[in-house]
Amino acid sequence: MGQPNAVSAPYRFTVLGPPGLQRGDTRLRLGAPQQQAVLMVLLANSGSFVRTGDLIDGVWGTRAPATGEAVIRTYISRIRRLLSEQGPGPAISSWSGGYMLDPSLFALDATEFAALLDTARQERASGNIPAAAKHLEEALDLWTGTALAGVPGEAAERERVRLERLKLTATQELLQLRLELEQHAEVVAEVPLLIEQNRLDEPLYEIYLLGLYRSGRRAQALEIYRTLYALLAKELGVGPGPRLREIHDRILRADTDHQDPSSSPAGMVTTVAPSRVTPQTGDVKHVFLCGNPALDLACTLRARRTERFETLDAPDRLEAWYVESGIVDVLSPCQEADLVQAVAVREAIYALVTARLAGDGYDGAALALVNETARKPPAAPQLTAEGRWVEATPAQALSTVARHAVELLSGPEVPLMKECANPECTKIFIDRSRGGRREWCGMESCGNKIKAAAYRARKKEAQTAGAL
């Protein structure tokens, strides 16, 4: 919205809910929905000239009536009469082919919201957490419902989306501040409803996991992460982002290194821990992009056609993989023999998966090893007061992975298996995206890399052609 006078103006437009015009305690009606849509376009551009054509597009889009310009003139006349009756004066000026709303005659709740949000961030930057939280609470108290509720038109919808995103951002920032103020129980109580309304918003899950962990509900935090992992794979065909994975990793390790999952002085959720290191590859972290634990295990040996990066180079790395994958919550220590066995099963799974993709027959030795491993007792989940909990031995964890392989290769998702389109990558994933259009194991790891290379190639080709 524009920049109306938020201090001295006696008239106040409200858009953070059903739109209205207030004079003191009196709330005035703004007319029919389409008339409100015209006014909202003028508000969004207050102080600037708005062409009649832009008003028509903002109200009707491509479905504008032939009489659209005449209708706009009628609505402008009615809005002028409404405002003049309330006393602001000649609020709308006419120009050749358009109109302008004078921002000096009224206040706007969206402007007040933005000012409070900016003040809160300044207080936060100076370290005054209670004051920052207070300003955010005041900002969110301005909302009375969905922004521009009931106002039709493409322009109103764009502004509605923008304002609702700002509201969600302010809510997230307030919840983060409450975590710093150690109001963990309050945060945990508020977040589930927000997640229900924003199912794929990862920052909310970051806050929720930290709140649960700091409330002593570690098992529930890990279960929420597993649920989100499955949801993102199903809806978007991707895994959680790096910040959420980092919080999950820190929660997993917190009981052994006595470290809070959010270790920055300010307690924000954007911290990054040192990456794990293998002699072969430098900085390497386990990734879970494939949509099935058996495929994720297979991709722990990366770039099989070229460098063959090994990420399971020590028993403790295997132990970390089992926990980070969600197969178990607690694992008894892995020995060298457990690592040797896991690598053998991993290679057998990869052989079976690639054979199925190519339409070839299974290798007998690989098939026997996976089946033998799957017949052993798996990791058994237990129900606790805080939710699901799994403690297991390395053999039980490996049996669970082998069973995932059996179910995958004998189930309905075989047609969804794909190899990453990056020729240097050998990860195989399950494409659960709508329309089956996923090409890469992950945008961060491969998609952006290939797109950047293609862009450079096109640019070089254009430069070469231009030089001829």
113-122, 287-296, 335-344, 429-438, range with greatest mean pLDDT: 113-122
Close Cβ partners of 403 (under 8 Å, ≥ 6 residues apart)? 374, 378
Give phi and psi for 316, each to the nearest 5: -70, -25
pLDDT digits (tens, 9 = 90+) for 16-35: 999 988 877 777 788 889 99
The DSSP result for 226-250, as a single string, is HHHHHHHHHHTS----HHHHHHHHH
Listed range (169-173, 281-285, 374-378, 379-383) with the worst mean pLDDT:
281-285
- The pLDDT score that the predictor gives to residue 86 is 66
Residue 62 pLDDT level (bands cut at 50, 70, 90)? confident
Average pLDDT of the residues of the chain: 83
The residue ranking higher by pLDDT, 48 or 274, is 48
pTM: 0.56
Residue 407 predicted with pLDDT over 70: yes
**pLDDT-derived band of residue 204, with 50, 70 and 90 as boundaries?**
very high
| Per-residue pLDDT tens over the stretch 80-105 | 888 877 665 678 888 778 999 888 88
Query: pLDDT digit string (tens) for 135-191?
Result: 999 999 999 999 999 899 988 888 999 999 999 999 999 999 999 999 999 999 999
Region of 291 on the Ramachandran plot (φ > 0 left; ψ -120 to 50 alpha; else beta): left
Whole-angstrom distance, CA of residue 264 vs CA of residue 154: 42
What residue ranges in 48-90 does DSSP mark as E strands?
Answer: 50-51
Distances (CA, A) of 178 to 117, 126, 188, 229: 16, 16, 10, 26
Q: Residue 166 burial (CB < 10 Å; 0-12/13-18/19+)?
A: middle
pLDDT for the residue 271: 29
| 3, pLDDT greater than 80 | no
Alpha carbons within 13 A on the beta-carbon side of 441: 23
Mean predicted confidence (pLDDT) in 116-141: 95
Could you tell me what percent of the chain has a pLDDT over 70? 84
